[in-house]
Amino acid sequence: MKHCPLLLLALLIASCAPPYSPELNTSAALADQMALIGTIGPVSSPDGSATTAIKLLPAKPTASTTSLTQMKLTSGFLVSESSGREKLSWVLEDSGGNVQRSDSNGGFDLTGADPNYPFYDYNVLTTTTTANMVVYNLGSLVPSTTYQAFTADLGNAQFLNQVPTTLFQSFFGTQIVYGGQVFPLPGSDQFNFLLSNGGILEEDTATFTSPLFSGSTLQNPSVPALPGLGSRVLYYQNAALGLSYASYNTGGQWVCYQWNASPTSLSLLAGVTRRIDAVLTDGDLISTHDGTLTIYDSNGVKVHSVPLAGMQFCYEAYVGGTPYVFFSLTLSFPHESWAFRAYAIPTSSLRGLEG
């Protein structure tokens, strides 16, 4: 009889009307303004009762996906946290409606993590014949920064060809990686990096063929010195606008600098006092700091703010020729299980979200 509540939960989630959860109730106003991609669950906790936080990162659209109606939430990556560790899992709903989970080997040690920054960056890549992800660890002692590629089977709940972590030094040599970004292009991803080359900051793009980076192009050989910069920065670039950004914590405060490679210029965006989590294809900067979605224009002027009400930013991706911003919602249930919902909204509509 102990399995009955879990079975009932599965039946309810599979229906159009999921069971009541406080997260659904809290997020309803925001969720109603987005397109629901789907619901997946129940999923057992990767670390049982020790799981303290968990988030779904749905697989990205494929290059051939032309509309949201072609997308269904039947799989995704989970990032979970327990004491001192993070774990990456792959979940997939089979034809019978059961959700299977496969965990990555070993998990990720959080020893030495700076509370101001994500110790690991989980970057979902465009889906090909597999679901794909590259995990950056830019929080380790410089210059021992690393990356690790993961591919997941779209037909089974399992990771494929798990490879060890790779030092960025093996690719960039003596250049030190200070920040990295995966930026969406129609049907593909662009990889941008901020590097220190003998103390001089520069910008590169790179080519990635799983599981390794295999080529780079120097974009800007001389980025202006960033005042108060330590060894960690959240770095973003919008090549279409010719603008780059560095968001970092210095003296206990978040600052954001913008620069243009040609002609070289550097500007402090004084109005940006929150951590920046992404620069979007339309040029807007977004922050999800403290559970609030704050949107700034490309020059750092605050244009909108709305509570996320439990929604978590996942990424921006193209669906056909239209960029969308994807969010997920974690629903907690008894018996150490979770369900997840994925949502999307056109990037052009993000400023119009109402709380």
List the beta bridge partners of residue 212.
209
Give pLDDT tens digits for 190-220.
999 999 999 999 999 999 999 999 989 999 9
Say yes or no to pLDDT of 254 above 70.
yes
Report the chain's mean pLDDT, rounded to a whole number: 91
Say yes or no to pLDDT of 15 above 90.
no
Could you tell me the fold of the domain covering 4-352?
A: Methylamine Dehydrogenase; Chain H (2.130.10)
pTM for this model (two decimals): 0.92
pLDDT for res 284: 98
pLDDT for res 150: 96
Q: Which of 6-15, 118-127, 292-301, 315-324 has the lowest mean pLDDT?
A: 6-15
Q: Where are the domains of the chain?
A: 4-352
Give pLDDT tens digits for 46-88.
988 889 999 999 999 999 999 999 999 999 999 999 999 999 9
pLDDT band at 19 (very low <50, low <70, confident <90, very high): low
Average pLDDT, stretch 227-237? 93
Average pLDDT, stretch 151-167? 91
> Could you tell me the two tokens for 288?
């999800």
> Could you tell me the two tokens for 338?
């979770």
Q: Tokens 């509540």 — which residue?
A: 5
